[in-house]
């Protein structure tokens, strides 16, 4: 032991290299771990358990070869391709290959979202709230906060790679292929952590930076999906998306390691870019200047107007995203019908349900995405309460009822816009490729039929605000997405899947008038209940 060299260092804040940009990274890292100990533990535990639960669920659901083959054939359809991953031929019914194909994308997206949220939370959000000012006034290097956030995310992903590999290989998968799959997942997550570090330098608001990073993730998923629809084992387009790189490691089929090097190179490159961008900006400033003066800003006439104004940016961003998503989904209808000619299973499904079944599933997926917008918009009432903005409004002649109900109403207006354009995009995509103009109107109206389901979600979000537990709202979104996307895969009981308002809306296959009426009633009851609780609790 070389005790002699470390003896003089006793100062609490003493740095090894005074003045280096890394000074204080250690303390910041400890602070971050202390702040996030529960949050990160829950995420890591959930993702790890997923790796144990999913293979067992598949094994139970598809015990025999023919059943698995049917499942694989179903996933060879364009929608299956987009929501799963590329197929490389060979032993397709092997459980490992099925996992890599079906589960990988979900876990990649979840882990990437975790990375994005964590990086922004410890970089731009701190600057915006002003907490970083206190930190930077002490012995901390100018760029230490960004480095600390990236090291934290790196650590989280390393832990995830280890726990997920151990969990999955414990259920009987080959450890090398499992490790490759889990490293691919965490590699992509690291890339998007680095993307968030870049967007945090570009924009001044944490919300915008998060939104931009999430949009990049959505774009990457879409590019990968369309690329793989073009060619089921990955076309040139697929390779523009880092998500494809992880899937192209071909775990359990034909393992190769070099795509992982691409992920590492991109992550390191983006981190370098973030460092360069950070050195070019000042504290609490963005590389993209934010507009300052607006002499002709329109007056805000009331609480409802305030909600609409504050949500405008979010609504526009989501509308564009869902319109493009709808367009992409819709345009795949043609290739789906073509695929049915060679895929007997698909042909059977199509003759049973017609193309309407496909349209319904597509619209349901768009609505599930919109539910995240709904919850985010309603929960702003809660974050405004935390930041003190709500106090200013409630000190005016505004009742709690009005403040919460107008938030829900403004969100519903936003979701009408969202679902209209999502349906329009879907209709345009399908109508133009199939040459059926009437489909455009039909699918646009189908999109609007999901507004009652959005109202139910908004009711849950309002309840989350009233009870001061934001997670209730996000739980509703998670439930809608999981029941729709993984419901069959995870073998969730039928009654549980049927609880999802989005799943219960089966337009345009049929028009469930009773279910829609019940949804409107449930939404109203939830919102009124939330309003009543909100009225009788302390509001600061």
Q: Which is nearer to other proteins, 404 or 446 (CB)?
A: 404
Q: Tell me if 242 sits within 8 A of 190, measured CB to CB.
A: no
Whether cis (ω within 30° of 0) applies to the bond prior to 51 is: no
Q: Could you give the CA distance from residue 37 to residue 40 in angstroms, rounded to a whole number? A: 6
**Minimal distance, residue 369 CB to other proteins, in Å:** 24
Residues that bind other proteins (CB under 8 A): 204-205, 290-295, 297-303, 306, 309-310, 313, 387-389, 391-400, 402, 536-540
Question: Are the C-beta atoms of residues 150 and 68 closer than 8 Å to each other?
Answer: no
Task: Report the alpha-carbon distance of residue 80 to residue 231 in Å, rounded.
Answer: 13
φ, ψ for residue 191, nearest 5 deg: -60, -45
Q: What are phi and psi of 383, to 5 degrees?
A: -70, -30
Q: Are 83 and 109 in contact (CB under 8 A)?
A: no
CB closer to other proteins out of 11 and 295: 295
d(CA 296, CA 289): 20
Q: How far is the CB of 394 from other proteins (least distance, A)?
A: 6
Structure-token pair, residue 441: 């109107």
Coil, helix or strand at residue 433: helix
320 Cβ neighbours under 8 A, 6+ residues apart: none
Residue 57 or 394 having the CB closest to other proteins: 394
Q: Are 260 and 187 in contact (CB under 8 A)?
A: yes
Q: How far is the CB of 383 from other proteins (least distance, A)?
A: 11
User: Nearest Cα to 44, choosing from 123, 117, 114?
Assistant: 114
Q: Where are the alpha helices (DSSP H) in 62-174?
A: 65-75, 78-83, 95-122, 124-129, 131-136, 144-170
Q: Shortest gap between Cβ of 133 and other proteins (angstroms)?
A: 12
Length of the chain, please?
Answer: 540
Q: How many CA atoms lie within 13 Å of 419's alpha carbon, on the beta-carbon side?
A: 29
């Amino acid at each position: 032991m070389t005790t002699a060299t470390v003896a003089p260092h006793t100062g609490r804040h003493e740095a090894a290299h005074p003045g280096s940009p890394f000074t204080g990274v250690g303390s910041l890292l400890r602070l971050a771990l202390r702040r996030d100990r529960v949050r990160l533990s829950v995420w890591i535990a959930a993702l790890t358990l997923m790796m144990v639960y999913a293979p067992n669920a598949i094994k139970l659901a598809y015990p025999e070869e023919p059943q698995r083959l049917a499942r694989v054939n179903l996933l060879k359809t364009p929608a299956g391709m987009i929501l799963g991953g590329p197929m490389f031929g060979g032993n397709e019914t092997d459980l490992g290959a099925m996992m890599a194909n079906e589960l990988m994308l979900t876990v990649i997206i979840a882990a990437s979202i975790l990375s994005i949220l964590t990086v922004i939370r410890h970089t731009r959000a701190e600057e915006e709230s002003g907490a970083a000012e206190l930190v930077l006034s002490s012995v901390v290097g100018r760029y230490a906060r960004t480095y600390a956030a990236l090291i934290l995310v790196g650590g989280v992903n390393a832990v995830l790679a280890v726990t997920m590999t151990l969990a999955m290989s414990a259920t009987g998968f080959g450890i090398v292929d499992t490790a490759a799959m889990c490293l691919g997942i965490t590699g992509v997550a690291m890339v998007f952590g680095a993307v968030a570090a870049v967007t945090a330098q570009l924009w001044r608001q944490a919300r915008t930076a998060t939104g931009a990073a999430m949009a990049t993730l959505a774009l990457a998923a879409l590019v990968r999906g369309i690329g793989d629809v073009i060619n089921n084992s990955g076309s040139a387009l697929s390779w523009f998306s880092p998500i494809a790189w992880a899937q192209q490691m071909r775990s359990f089929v034909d393992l190769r390691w070099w795509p992982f090097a691409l992920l590492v190179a991109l992550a390191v490159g983006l981190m370098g870019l973030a460092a360069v961008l950070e050195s070019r900006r000042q504290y609490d400033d963005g590389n993209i200047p934010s507009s300052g003066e607006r002499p002709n800003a329109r007056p805000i006439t009331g609480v409802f107007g305030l909600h609409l104004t504050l949500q405008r940016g979010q609504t526009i961003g989501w509308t564009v995203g869902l319109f493009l998503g709808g367009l992409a989904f819709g345009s795949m209808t043609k290739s789906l019908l073509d695929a049915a000619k060679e895929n007997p299973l698909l042909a059977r499904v199509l003759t049973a349900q017609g193309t309407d079944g496909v349209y319904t599933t597509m619209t349901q997926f768009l609505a599930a995405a919109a539910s995240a917008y709904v919850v985010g918009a309603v929960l702003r009432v809660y974050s405004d309460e935390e930041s003190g903005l709500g106090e200013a409004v409630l000190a005016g002649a505004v009742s709690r009822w009005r403040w919460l109900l107008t938030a829900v109403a403004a969100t519903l207006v936003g979701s009408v816009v969202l679902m209209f354009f999502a349906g329009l995009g879907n209709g345009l995509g399908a109508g133009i490729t199939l040459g059926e103009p009437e489909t455009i109107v039909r699918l646009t109206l189908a999109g609007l039929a999901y507004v009652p389901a959005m109202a139910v979600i908004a009711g849950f979000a309002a309840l989350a605000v009233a009870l001061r537990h934001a997670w209730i709202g996000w739980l509703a979104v998670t439930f809608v997405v999981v029941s729709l996307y993984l419901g069959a895969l995870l073998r969730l009981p039928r009654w549980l899947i049927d609880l999802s308002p989005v799943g219960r809306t089966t337009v345009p296959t049929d028009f469930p008038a009773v279910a829609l009426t019940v949804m409107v009633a449930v939404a109203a009851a939830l919102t009124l209940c939330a309003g009543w609780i909100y009225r009788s609790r302390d509001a600061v």
